[in-house]
Structure 1
Amino acid sequence: MAHSPGRRGVWHWYEDHARGTGELARGFADVWGGGDLACRLGRDHDTGKGACAWQDGLIEEATTGRKVRRPPHHDAGAFLFAQAARRHPVLTPFAGVIEGHHTGLPAWSELKVRLKALMRDSAEVDEAISRVARVMPEILDGTCPAAPNWLDPHNRTSVEMLVRMTYSAVVDADRLDTAAHFRPGTHPQRAVSMAELWERYENRRREMIAERRRRGAPSWLDRLREDIYGEAVEAAAGKPGVFRLHLPTGAGKTFTGGGFALRHAALHGLR
């Protein structure tokens, strides 16, 4: 099983969650050519749940209602992907998508250490992999999924961008598939208008600024943030590509980055 029955009393079977997450992730990532890669990572992200200790903990938690400490379940899928990527080392960092699907992307230096340890001795993940393979034998096929044709293996920015985009697709798919199990029928899907989101974003930002000004006159830093925001929104009309925002802590990168992204997507018909 992947998740407890919840209020409905229906278990979330492992293969349903694995395949559902994989296909959702594919749908998100197809738009940038990363569908196969995201699907594989989504399919195998919870492989560690095949371990008896993890399953026993889930069953005990579901039957007693008490929280039970279960072993981590991210290493097994990361190990599987790293094995498949041995002939394509540029894809090895994508194992971090699985390794960090609950905790955040790990640093590459940390991921390398963890993968090397598993390659030397895979005993702690072998049981989970073998048990999952009984219901999903395809996890042992050993093939490496294709990367988008725009990926430049010699360009670190290119690789990092794809890792982050793929991470977003897989984590979103995992959470949506899990939510659909616990609350079926409560997640209507509709096309999102970036122009509408941009308008809502800008209105909320202005409301927040107005509230601050009611509490006191704007400081020199507030004025600087406004200038930076204005420049970023103006730059959003530029040709799609890679944009860099070099700002120190406190300069308003979160608001500025969000405003730029929504405005850029709205102007260029992007998702």
Structure 2
Amino acid sequence: IPIKTLEQDKQTDCKFLYSVCEKYGLAMKVFGEKIIIFDEARYESAAPVLTLQYEDCIRYTYNSTMAGTYTGAKVRYSDPGSSKRHYVSVGSGSRIKEMNVEADGAEDARRKAVAALNNANKKAVTFSATVMPREELIASRCIEIRGLGTPDGVYYLDKVTSKIGQNGTSQQSIEAHLVGYRLNDAKVQLEVETEKKEDGGGSVYTVQKGDTLWSIAKEQLGSPLRYAEIYDLNKDVIEEAARGRGKKDSSNGHWLVVGTSLQIPEATETDGEQ
């Protein structure tokens, strides 16, 4: 995957590398004193290594949700050559994730959009259980669940933990997600963003050094009290940028990353009036 430039700021090497892999839809694990980077999609398509039946589970939990999952994305990025803003639409449907990203071009934006969708959709259907130990149970392998009713299906093992008791008995805890929710053959549509009104109506602002949401709202909308609207409109982008710099979160927009593109809400007739 060609990447022109990346910036590492206040992150350990391992955390930085992990975040890069996540942005581009790759998985990473440390095993046998080696860092292994791999494409989860290839492993999800592999045949199950074993089948777990109802009687094999000491206990289990199953969860299914559509909250936080998506069928497509619309990504906004600035062309590094012309500085023109573009949209890249990936997938389709009613649940569309809107994103602002830093990208080297349309293909770079597409990769990041698809990765974000697939990472979100992993939680659509999840399964966890405690079972008697099996040597075949290794993270990154697929297993089949059968005989449990609704949870039945093929799952990808995200995490496997082995525990040995004081009396020598052992158990394994597994965490897995149902395969089949990955966006692989997404259609990509590239379109140039139309120019916005200069009065702040739906414009896009790029964060500069020293900016705060308060100052941006005052400058762009004439009212610093509208800072919360800017945060709500760009919450996903602001939080993702903050985590990319090694922070837990943005502290409700307190931490802004220079270069982040923010969508500005429409100005109202009363904005700027004293």
TM-score range (shorter-chain normalised) is under 0.3
Q: Which has the higher strand share?
A: 2
